[in-house]
Amino acid sequence: MIKVVRGNPTPEELAAALAVVQARAAATAAASAEGGGPAVPEGWSDPSRIARAVRHRPGPRAWARSYWPV
């Protein structure tokens, strides 16, 4: 179900938006039917890569390094 939250689109605009959504869904279904399955994310976007890094022991500026990988 599509719900218009803001604005007052014309019927043509709604039809165009629905056509794009349906085309995208059809392309995804065709790709998974061919055995391609869902796209595998690239290595740089894998959150587990951060956990693989060796962490420093806490020190005076550990709070500043707590977010960024080494």
Domain ranges for the chain: 11-65
20-31 pLDDT, tens digit each: 999 999 988 887
Which tokens sit at 7?
A: 């604005």
Q: What is the CA radius of gyration of the chain?
A: 22
Summarize pLDDT for 1-16 with one digit per residue, the tens. 778 899 999 999 999 9
What's the pTM?
0.46
Q: Is the dihedral of CA 30, 34, 38, 41 positive or negative?
A: negative
Query: Using one digit for the tens of pLDDT, what is the confidence trace for 43-67?
Result: 777 777 666 666 656 777 667 666 6
- Cα separation, 53 vs 65, whole angstroms: 13
H-state helical runs in the chain:
11-33, 48-51, 62-65
